[in-house]
Every structure is written in C-alpha cells, then in structure tokens.
Amino acid sequence: MVGRRLAAGVVTLFLVSVVVFLATEVLPGNAAYAILGHEGTPARVRALEVALHLNRGLLDQYWIWISGLFTGNLGHSLANGLPVWGYVEPRIINSAVLVFVTGVIGAFAGVALGAVTALRKDGWPDHVISVVVLAITSLPEFVVAIALIIVLSTAVWHVLPAVSLLAPGTYAWSQPELLVLPVATLVIVITPYILRMMRAAMVEALESDYVEMARLKGTPEWRVVLVHALPNAIAPTIQVIGLTFLYLAGGVVIVEYVFNFPGIGQALVNAVNGRDIPVIQFIVLALAAFYLVVNIVTDVIALLATPRRRIVS
C-alpha cells in the first residue's frame, strides 16, 4: 500500500514540476527583462537570455532544470547571484523548525485539551474553552500575530522581540527567543481545529457501547479513558493533525512576513516579487514534496491506529 502511494507520489511530483515550470514561463516578461529593468538594452537582454538558456526551446529548458535538480546543480538565484541551494537551505531549515515545533506543540495541546473538554463535557472548562476556541477561529493569523506583538513586545510588556531578525545564513535555534512569537501565533491558530476534532471524537468514544462495556467490566476510569476511548478518538484526529501540517506549510508565509522571520515563505514572496524563477521553482517543488510526504505519513499513522482498516478479513 505504502509502495503504491510512494509511486503515485513520484508521478505527482513530476506533474507538479511540469506545472511549476510552465507557470513560471507564462509569467509576464522574462527574467532577463526583470533583472535588467530599465537599464536593459536589447543587446544586454539578448546576452543575458543566452546565459540563462532562455533562448532555448521549452523542452530543453525543462530538461536543463530537471537534470540540475538530480545532480545538485539548482542554478543561481537571478536576484542575488547566489547558488539556489546555498540561498534557500538555511531558510528551509528555519521554516521546518517553525513548522515542526508549532505542529508538535499544537498537536499535543489540541489532543490534551480536546480530551479534557470531552471528559468535562458541559462543565465550566468545556464552556470556557469552547468560547475561546470559537473566538480564535474567527481571527485571521495576522491579527493574532499583531495582538501578540502588542501585548508581549510593545505596548503592554516588552519581553520578546517583535521582529525575528537573523543574520543571513544563520539558524533560528541559535536565538530561540526569536521563535517564540511566530510559534505562539501559529499554535494559537492551529490548536482549535485539532481540539475540536479531538473533542468530538472523544465524546463519541466516551458514549460508545465499548466504553460502557469497559466500565461494566469494572475497568478503572483512567484505564477506560486511556486504553479504551483514547485510541479510538486519536485515529480521526490524526487526519486533522496531518491537514494542520499542510496548512502550516502555507500558513508560515504570512506569519514569517509579519515577524520578518527568515524562512521559506519570506524567501518565496521575495522571489516572486523579483521574478527569481530558479528560486520559485525550487521552493514550490519542495513544498509539493512536503505535502506528499505529510499525506503519506498521515495515512500510514491513521492506518496503524485503525485495526479495522488495517486488517481486512
């Protein structure tokens, strides 16, 4: 099953690479004009086009790009002349750290709070959390980010940096305090979705016949919750956690922009503004690969958590 999914993933990646390549080709103007701007005389534009292989056929250009991907030669950024990998790599790492830390904290917080609200259904913690969650889900992430900045970095307290300025080529974990606000923003944004799914699944599990049966067997309540209800509630929640990771891969763009966090989202926005086609192509392809991997991993984990689907009799 996993093998088939992987093969399908490779085909999908190939199609994505074609689409990305064509999409960047149809952007108005070409890179030579974009780079040279107003100073571009026709002769200099022509020379640059040759250097960038822009004068070749589409197929040739695609082949040069895709074979470069496999040989580690991703070309150079058109905007700053740096090798694409050297320019993008620390940013990918920074974003990955942001997504991973956020995802893990959000998943644990969502599952734990969801389970607690389900256990205290209709009690005051459930009502308070439900109202807060409803309020948060109606806010866009930049509002959350700005609210956090106002409270923690400017007007009220001044305990955390409002922008995450990092020297180019350095990694975020060298200055962990820079991660706090971006991570907090994203955790606040994603946790409600996981929490609500977990609460609904847990409520259903707690009212199921098998939980009643477990209680009638004399099973202690902690065991009823942890051994009987939780595993059955986790399975549907895993799907939502997977979706959350996918959302994060896109959601970092706005949050990185607000905090000026040197990650992949910021790099992508800059690259699009500067017609930096090699960088755009690589980042988009990397994001597509991330989507595929998360999807497959989610499905595998969900399958492991659901014997009914895993073992067909």
Partner 1 sequence: MSEKPGGKGRPGAPPRPEASGKHSVSQSAAPQAKTTTAQPEARLKVAGLEVRLGRSGPDVVGDVSFAVQAGEVLGLVGESGSGKTTVALALLGHARRGLRITAGQVLLDGTDLLALNPRDLRAARGARVSYVPQDPSSALNPALRVGTQIREVLQVHPGAAGNAGDRVAEVMQEVHLDPTPEMLRRYPHQLSGGQQQRIALAMAFACRPSLIVLDEPTTGLDVSTQRHVLDTVRSLCRSHAVAAVYVSHDLAVVSGLASGVAVMYAGRVVETGPAARVLGEPVHPYTRGLIRAVPSPERIEALAGIDGQQPRPARRGPGCSFAARCGHATGDCATQAPELVTVADRAVRCLRAQDIQASHPARTPLVAGPPAGAGTPALSVREVTASYGSTPVLSGISLEVPPRSCVAIVGESGSGKTTLARCIAGLHGNWTGEITFQGTPLARGTRQRDKNALRRVQYIFQNPYTSLNPRRTIGQIIDQQLGQLTGLSHAKRSARAASILEDVSLDPDVLSCYPDQLSGGERQRVAIARALAVQPDLLICDEVTSSLDVSVQAIVVELLRRIQQERHLAMIFITHNLALVRAIAQSAVVLHHGTLAESGPVEQILEHPAHPCTQRLIADMPRLRSSRTHRPPDPHDTPDRPDRRS
Q: Residue 127 interacts with partner 1 (CB under 8 A)? A: no
The CB-of-197 to partner 1 minimum distance in angstroms stands at 17
245-264 mask for partner 1 (x: CB under 8 A)?
Answer: --------------------
Q: Pick the binder of partner 1 from 208, 239, 260, 295 (CB under 8 A).
A: 208
134-173 mask for partner 1 (x: CB under 8 A)?
Answer: ----------------------------------------
**Nearer residue to partner 1 within complex by CB, 86 or 220:** 220
Q: Residue 226 interacts with partner 1 (CB under 8 A)? A: no
**Nearer residue to partner 1 within complex by CB, 97 or 305:** 305
Q: Looking at 124-132, 204-212, 240-248, 280-288, which segment touches partner 1 (CB under 8 A)?
A: 204-212
Q: Pick the binder of partner 1 from 227, 250, 273, 293 (CB under 8 A).
A: 227
Q: Residue 300 interacts with partner 1 (CB under 8 A)? A: no
Q: How far apart are CA 57 and CA 140, in angstroms?
A: 44
Q: Residue 210 interacts with partner 1 (CB under 8 A)? A: yes
Q: Looking at 8-16, 67-75, 183-191, 304-312, which segment touches partner 1 (CB under 8 A)?
A: 304-312
Total residues at interface with partner 1 (CB under 8 A)? 25
Q: Residue 228 interacts with partner 1 (CB under 8 A)? A: yes
Fill in the amino acid letter for 157: W
CA distances from 25 to 35, 45, 101, 123, 218 (A): 15, 17, 36, 58, 68
Q: Residue 216 interacts with partner 1 (CB under 8 A)? A: yes
Q: What is the CA radius of gyration of the chain?
A: 24
Q: Residue 215 interacts with partner 1 (CB under 8 A)? A: yes
- Measure CA of the first residue to CA of the last residue in the chain; give whole Å: 16
**Nearer residue to partner 1 within complex by CB, 43 or 311:** 311
Q: Are the C-beta atoms of 5 and 251 separated by less than 8 Å?
A: no
Q: How far apart are CA 301 and CA 242, in angstroms?
A: 10
Annotate 304-313 with b (16+ C-beta within 10 A) or e (fewer).
Answer: ebbeeeeeee
The CB-of-302 to partner 1 minimum distance in angstroms stands at 12
Q: Residue 313 interacts with partner 1 (CB under 8 A)? A: yes
Q: Shortest CA distance to 198 belongs to which of 231, 225, 226, 233?
A: 233
Q: Residue 275 interacts with partner 1 (CB under 8 A)? A: no
The CB-of-298 to partner 1 minimum distance in angstroms stands at 18
62 burial (CB, 10 Å; 0-12 / 13-18 / 19+) is: middle
Q: Which residues bind partner 1 (CB under 8 A)?
A: 207-210, 212-220, 223, 227-228, 231-232, 235, 305-308, 311, 313
